[in-house]
Amino acid sequence: MCVYALAAPNCEAFLEFAYSGDWLGFGYLDTHVWRARAVSATCLTCFPLSSVDAIIAREPRAKEKLSDAIEREFALVRRAALARDPPTPSSGSRRSY
């Protein structure tokens, strides 16, 4: 599977490849922010969200994938928030009215 994010409209930016035995689809958001496309014949096994804790308890690679996914999702959400409300040059606790 090729897992990617859209860099711009109609432009795919490569993120990573998932191979046989790899875990994908982890994260903390309610919806997936990354897309995936099979690049060869592929068979996936889907697990319910409620099984994530049990999976990462038994699979060190799954725990790494979850950690990486959360880090990338947090960065994505942060960039989106900064784009909506960019920081101002004035910092500190003093406000002028």
pLDDT digits (tens, 9 = 90+) for 20-62: 888 888 888 888 888 889 989 999 999 888 899 999 999 999 9
pLDDT digits (tens, 9 = 90+) for 67-81: 988 888 888 788 778
Rounded to an integer, what is the distance from CA 96 to the centroid of its chain? 39
Whole-number pLDDT of residue 97: 47
Apex 56 CA angle, 71 and 70, nearest 5: 10
Other residues' Cβ atoms within 10 Å of the Cβ of residue 8: 7
List of E strands, 1-97: 2-8, 11-17, 35-37
Q: At residue 88, does pLDDT exceed 50? A: yes
> Two tokens at 71?
């880090």
Whole-number pLDDT of residue 7: 65
Say if CB 62 and CB 22 are below 8 A apart.
Answer: no
Output 90 or 80, whichever has higher pLDDT: 80
**Does the predicted TM-score (pTM) go above 0.75?**
no
Average pLDDT over residues 11-17: 70
